[in-house]
Structure 1
Amino acid sequence: MSSKWTADQIPDQSGRLAVVTGANSGLGLITAKELGRSGAHVVLACRDTAKGEAAAREIRGAAPQATIEVAALDLGSLASVRDFAERFTGEHDRLDLLVNNAGVMAPPRRTTADGFELQLGTNHLGHFALTGLLIEQLRAQDGARVVTLSSGAHRFGAIDFDDLQRERSYNRWRAYGQSKLANLMFAFELDRRLRAAGSGLLSVAAHPGYAATHLQSAAAPTVDRVIMKATNALFAQSAEMGALPTLYAATAPSVAGGDFIGPDGFAEQRGHPEVVRGNAASRDEAVAARLWSVSEELTGVAYPLPATASVR
């Protein structure tokens, strides 16, 4: 892999259909823009469709050849996830790329429409359900991929099955770390199950390093927003650079199922995309299998794929 891979090296995406969650701003918007610029038809799956339409206009202004549509998707509501999947499968006969990008970071404790802790429910369970509901369309396409965004924060996360929803003890950063570890474990476990099923669908993970986006200030308390604004200005790389690992994971021909793509710089905080390694916890297959089983139970979405490890 070139250490200086950029969006200019994205292969022609003509004929591919991509769904990018949370595509109205930040990394999702840049990801959708570059995919559209490269020829893909991109569905902007957004909770706020007015913001999604504004993003679509921005993309068309930057890339007039891009074909873009906007669809409502609230990952904090399983009903919305099911509605999106039903509409999508009714309107489209293929899906080549699903980018599980949307997320929330370190808010005060809140719950989703289904009563899940907001970060676990949105970042992990919503995407788990969405991928499961779209997986047959993905599996039907040669070269299809699922890209799930994790974070360096997975390294301080832990899957606490005794208090998964953080009802007894809530620390917003530990809850964020748990959700990002869950994202990475999901990507790896999905890869294992796809391989066991003999499927050519690729499951790949990515993380942006430290990129300056609205995520740091979207839900944080006021003091944190001020601090993060300062650290963004001093230390963060641009959102355009932060989107490169996702774009590489989504399009580079050399990517393999189970790869984890992140920046190549110091501590994976900035730089150009390369294959990186998750921590030991992210590779625990027994915990991943248990998390998968719990996720199926909580979401009501069962995957037509074989289990690969004993649930403990």
Structure 2
Amino acid sequence: MVVLYECFKVAIVTGANTGIGFVTARELVRKNAHVFIASRSKDKGESAVELIKKETKKDAVEFLQLDLKSLNSVKCAAETILARNLLLHILVNNAGIGLTPLEKTSDGIQDQFSVNHIGHFLFTLLLLPTIKASASACIVNVSSMAHVRAPPAGIEFEKLNDPNALTSFQRYSQSKLANILFTIELNKRLSGTNVYCNSLHPGIIKTQMTRGAVANWGTWLNPIISIVSLFLLSPDDGALTQLYCATSPEIEEKNLCGKYFVPYGEVGEPIAQGKDEELAKKLWDFFENLIKEKLGDDIFSKSYV
């Protein structure tokens, strides 16, 4: 059973205007955290802020503009937080898209990989100074059991933007494997600090993620989705595992870091590629260099050691 604990902390939840991100943000506010709802849509983000205020009777929630399809937007969002001179105790990298037709972002990167991994990679690294300055902090990367369907190589770096290399579902699975590998390498680099970094599969949840499938294959899927949704977890249940990773004192007490969690708050096992430390290091270096090409070599000058 997952128990939610009082927080009295500062938190950011990406993609918190809907689904399990919204529930996560709402429950963190309910437990006395000050929460930033990081979202691309200002209207949806501010509506979520107002709804959380109404449901919790608390005002400690704000909107943060964050478009994970744009590296410049990610940079600006991180700079906005750093300029506030706040400690940051909880970062939940929750936002994601899935099963969408292949499109490239303004940075020329395949959109599923950009939103699900690269944007969060950059956002996290830029926020590390304030995260590490906190007495104790948690970074939670929301992955998926879909990572098991990633290509045999794990990450096909050179074919990332090739529309013929992978199916939409494989592109999604690859990005979710990247979340797990990022967690492994980040945890290694944060060794000796009081930052606990974990990834997780939240469960198969009734959320708006199915919009990508409809956009890809057509509205004929809607009746099927409606039937399947009857058997899926609610967003309230789906948020429990990431809330556990973000708030449970067991994370620190048991030194649970670099783990992959499954519902509800249990340590699970990713596939072999999800435990490949060499692949995790290659992933880190590849996208660190890619971001430097896009934003300049000094982008990470103050973000991490």
Give the TM-score of the pair, scaled to structure 1.
Answer: 0.88
Give the conservation status (yes or no) of the 8 Å contact 1:148–1:187.
yes
Q: Is the partner of 2:174 in helix, strand or coil?
A: helix
AA in 2 matched with 1:189 = E
Moved over 6 A (4+): none
AA in 1 matched with 2:304 = P
The CA distance in 2 between the partners of 1:93 and 1:62, in whole Å, is 25
Q: Which runs of 5+ in 1 are unaligned?
A: 264-271, 306-312
Q: Shift in Å at residue 170 of structure 1? A: 3.8
Q: Is the partner of 2:6 in helix, strand or coil?
A: coil
Deviation string, structure 1 residues 107-128 (Cα, Å, up to 9, x no partner): 0111112111011011000000
Q: Shift in Å at residue 178 of structure 1? A: 0.4
Corresponding position: 1:137 with 2:133: no
User: Residue 187 of structure 2 aligns with which residue?
Assistant: 191
User: Residue 13 of structure 1 aligns with which residue?
Assistant: 7
Give the conservation status (yes or no) of the 8 Å contact 1:148–1:183.
yes
Give the conservation status (yes or no) of the 8 Å contact 1:76–1:118.
yes
Aligned with 1:48 (options 26, 36, 41) = 41
Q: Which moved more, 1:172-181 or 1:50-59?
A: 50-59
Give the TM-score of the pair, scaled to structure 2.
Answer: 0.90
User: Residue 177 of structure 2 aligns with which residue?
Assistant: 181
AA in 2 matched with 1:284 = D
Q: Shift in Å at residue 258 of structure 1? A: 1.1
Point out which structure has higher relative CO (alpha carbons under 8 A, 6+ apart): 2
Q: Which moved more, 1:158-167 or 1:131-140?
A: 158-167
User: Residue 296 of structure 2 aligns with which residue?
Assistant: none
The CA distance in 2 between the partners of 1:121 and 1:165, in whole Å, is 11
The CA distance in 2 between the partners of 1:43 and 1:34, in whole Å, is 13
RMSD after superposition: 1.4
Deviation string, structure 1 residues 82-111 (Cα, Å, up to 9, x no partner): 111111111232111111000000101111
1:263-302 aligned within 5 A: 263=263, 272-300=264-292, 301-302=299-300
Give the conservation status (yes or no) of the 8 Å contact 2:137–2:196.
yes
Corresponding position: 1:104 with 2:97: yes
Give the conservation status (yes or no) of the 8 Å contact 2:201–2:262.
yes
User: Residue 153 of structure 1 aligns with which residue?
Assistant: 146
How many correspondences in the alignment? 287
User: Residue 19 of structure 2 aligns with which residue?
Assistant: 26
Q: Shift in Å at residue 295 of structure 1? A: 1.1
Q: Which runs of 5+ in 2 are unaligned?
A: 293-298
Q: Shift in Å at residue 66 of structure 1? A: 4.5
